[in-house]
Amino acid sequence: MTPSPSPTGRPAAPATASGSTASGLTGLASRLLESPLWDHAVVRILTLLMATALVLLVITVPLTLTQQLLFAAASFAVAMLLSKTEGRLPTLIMIVLSVSASMRYMYWRVTDTLGFETLVDTFFGFGLLAAEMYALIVLLLGYFQTAWPLQRKPIAMSTPPEEWPEVDVFIPTYNEPLDVVKQTVFTAMGLDWPSEKLKVYVLDDGRRPEFRAFCEDVGIGYVTRDNNRHAKAGNINEALKVTRAEYVAIFDCDHVPTRSFMQICMGWFLKDPKLAMLQTPHFFFSPDPFEKNLDTFRHIPNEGELFYGLVQDGNDLWNATFFCGSCALIRRKPLEEVGGIAIETVTEDAHTALKLNRLGYNTAYLAIPQAAGLATGSLSGHIGQRIRWARGMAQICRLDNPLFGPGLKLGQRLCYLNAMLHFFYGLPRLIFLTAPLAYLIFGAHVFESSALMIAVYAMPHLMHASVTNSRMQGRFRHSFWNEVYESVLAWYILRPVLVAFINPKLGKFNVTAKGGVIDEAYFDWTIARPYIILMLANLIGFVVGIGMLIFGTNDEAITVLINLFWTVYNVGITSAAIAVASETRQVRASPRVAANLRAGLRFTNGKTLSCETEDFSQTGLGLRIPADVDVPIGQQVLVSIFRNNDEGVFPATVAFRNGEHLGVRFHELNTQQQVELAQLTFARADNWASGWGQGDRDTPLTALRGVMRVGVRGFGMFFKHLYSMAKTPRSARKAAQPKLDTGD
């Protein structure tokens, strides 16, 4: 199968390593791949038939226990050798090995392990098989989607600025505070684009007089309407009617663009007349609830980094980049041709991209952060947002299924299919979290096979998938953390997804709250209830299993041990989910961004001090100064921030002092100063791009230890909060719990 044609031409040949036998073989294989023989259809067809026959042979050939063990050990040894070798070809070979191990396991599962004797065995056995089949399909589609990220690069603007096209910048808002929207407006006003060809609009679906007055004060457009039909999609579509520029840039009201956004993105549109939409990553300068409550911000990749770091780049190869609602540039004509932003589903963004692809337009992705925004502030808000995404993808699956209908190529269909199937993980995840209990508590034999045979078939499948995904995803997703993310969300997306699939017209668009503070730490008992039940159920199963080991026969000891290990793992995962529900304090209304920027202080006596920032926000700065410099708290100062030869000077008051650390709070900045401050801080592209995908790479064992440590912490938190709850009146507990907006 070959990728769809794209403006970039053929993908580059795989990179090769040097200095080893493995790299030499990789180089030889690369030269074979580049041979002109592959231009002949007969050669490609014969090779495909031979490869298919070999794969079928590997999957189906029967082996004894010893033979399967040797085969599994040899193939895994090859995979581990390849995992240390650079280049894309070793990755592709690892994928082939992983697919072979997984398909061999599933073939064995279907042909040798389903001879159930009782209704209980049948119920639990086929339930687990269905969950495994789902996981296998998602694994295979994921490999297809991400095996060869396109890694598109920006194209420089080659024409003089007076020939550059006009752009309308849309900033939709509904109920967000003005302070959040201001930062996006200020940075959008400073986009590096000819001012006469750039018009910024706030699209206010809240119809607020203070927003209109603000827009008039700073000299930008203000668009509103007398209804809220179709939520954000309707808001943007209304603005399309009253604006006229050839291109439209869309930013959520909490996403502040960098100055370089337009010049980074526009070059591809000028090169490819069929390009309708170019998406850039959603990067967040504040921690999401997982990162905040587990203290993993900037240490462990967050839930969304895999999508923006790898999946979208893989989609780009197949001309199937999804529009994500913000941080994107769109050509107006194709957008109007599909009727504007899609209104049939609550994931209007992805549905819009699907419509554009159906009409033969290209969509593209640049994996360079060109905007940064606020993450969801609480776990309840985060879950509500994911419920909307899940419901919307289920609606698309019913109303405009990409597997059917005109206009899409096979690669596009499979990329969209994987995106939709992903949000059906609720039930399979719950099955995996309870599967060992079927045997330990109900005595169900979900595998009609010996424990050793289960181990020699299942372990290669799991281990190959782990090391292969770790190699492919290691910059943007650490092993086992995905199971924590899915476990937190599984219960909550299960019902909305099934309901939307049955009746896609049910449900409403729920706006995700951003910003705000959490005055006091609290434990969200309402959110945590499913995780607590799952953890306690697995603890009961563990106790029962220990009893079976002590008082049972030796015939099934290995089977009991396998289920006990599985149960311990599930306790760790569910306990980690409980830890996420322990909301920590968030006392800053304006999150601070860590950054080392050249700065200076000017005192009332005329003296100046050169220093650098440690962090910044729209309300203040953290500075590092010599410990022996006396700067009293409450002193008025002028703070300078530099970008190359540009200097911005801002009045401020010293708020705190601790050794070398000095905090200042800005004092009554006028509008021009606020715009200048935003340009010197939030609009700097190096703030976001420098840290993109640069964290520690994943190592599965290290990641497993990290998840289990969080699980132990969550286990302790549960009993701590249980004790605290026992001392708190019920009315006070109920008042403290946030309401989860499911969009029903």
The stretch 514-522 carries a mean pLDDT of: 58
The DSSP-derived string for 385-439 is HHHHHHHHHHHHHHHS-TTSSSS--HHHHHHHHHHHHHTT-HHHHHHHHHHHHHH
CA nearest 254: which of 352, 199, 172, 364? 172
Using the predicted structure, report yes or no on whether residue 34 has a pLDDT greater than 70: no
CA nearest 741: which of 230, 388, 491? 388
Predicted pLDDT at 115? 87
| Tens of pLDDT, residues 393-410 | 999 999 999 998 899 999
Residue of 692 and 249 predicted with greater confidence: 249
Model confidence at 261, pLDDT cuts 50, 70, 90, reads: very high
For 50, counting Cβ atoms within 10 Å of its Cβ (0-12 exposed, 13-18 middle, 19+ buried), the class is exposed
Model confidence at 8, pLDDT cuts 50, 70, 90, reads: very low
Predicted pLDDT at 377? 80
The stretch 620-649 carries a mean pLDDT of: 92
Measured in Å, how far apart are the chain's first and last C-alpha atoms?
Answer: 42
Using the predicted structure, report yes or no on whether residue 272 has a pLDDT greater than 90: yes
The stretch 268-278 carries a mean pLDDT of: 97
Residue of 103 and 525 predicted with greater confidence: 103
Q: DSSP 3-state assignment of 371?
A: strand
Predicted pLDDT at 22? 53
The stretch 521-549 carries a mean pLDDT of: 92
| Tens of pLDDT, residues 292-305 | 999 898 889 998 99
Model confidence at 13, pLDDT cuts 50, 70, 90, reads: very low
The sign of the CA dihedral 249, 254, 259, 260 is negative
Residue of 481 and 644 predicted with greater confidence: 481
Q: DSSP 3-state assignment of 454?
A: helix
Note the pTM of the prediction, 2 decimals.
0.88
Using the predicted structure, report yes or no on whether residue 654 has a pLDDT greater than 90: yes
Say how far apart CA 722 and CA 732 lie, in whole Å: 15
Predicted pLDDT at 237? 97
Say how far apart CA 332 and CA 355 lie, in whole Å: 14
Structure tokens at 389: 């995404």
Using the predicted structure, report yes or no on whether residue 70 has a pLDDT greater than 80: yes
Q: Above pLDDT 70, what percent of the chain?
A: 90
| Tens of pLDDT, residues 181-235 | 999 999 999 999 999 999 999 999 999 999 999 999 999 999 999 999 999 999 9
Q: Which of 205, 316, 524, 698 is catalytic?
A: 205
H or E element that contains 157: none
Residue of 488 and 2 predicted with greater confidence: 488
Q: Which of 349, 400, 524, 741 is catalytic?
A: 349
- Of the given ranges (64-78, 378-392, 426-440, 689-703), which has the lowest mean pLDDT? 689-703
Predicted pLDDT at 733? 53
Directed axis angle between helix 451-473 and helix 119-146, to 10°? 30
Model confidence at 46, pLDDT cuts 50, 70, 90, reads: confident
Q: Any catalytic annotation for residue 555?
A: no
- Mean pLDDT score of the chain: 89
The sign of the CA dihedral 660, 665, 667, 670 is positive
Pairing of strands 256-257, 283-284: unpaired
Say how far apart CA 307 and CA 476 lie, in whole Å: 8
Say how far apart CA 194 and CA 211 lie, in whole Å: 25
Query: Cβ(146)–Cβ(418) under 8 Å?
Result: no
Q: What is the DSSP letter of 38?
A: G
The stretch 225-246 carries a mean pLDDT of: 95
Q: Any catalytic annotation for residue 349?
A: yes
Using the predicted structure, report yes or no on whether residue 715 has a pLDDT greater than 60: yes
Residue of 276 and 23 predicted with greater confidence: 276
Any idea which residue has 């896609």 for tokens? Answer: 504
Residue of 684 and 131 predicted with greater confidence: 131
Structure tokens at 208: 């607020």
**Cβ atoms < 10 Å from Cβ of 305:** 23
Say how far apart CA 626 and CA 651 lie, in whole Å: 21
Predicted pLDDT at 15? 41
The stretch 501-521 carries a mean pLDDT of: 64
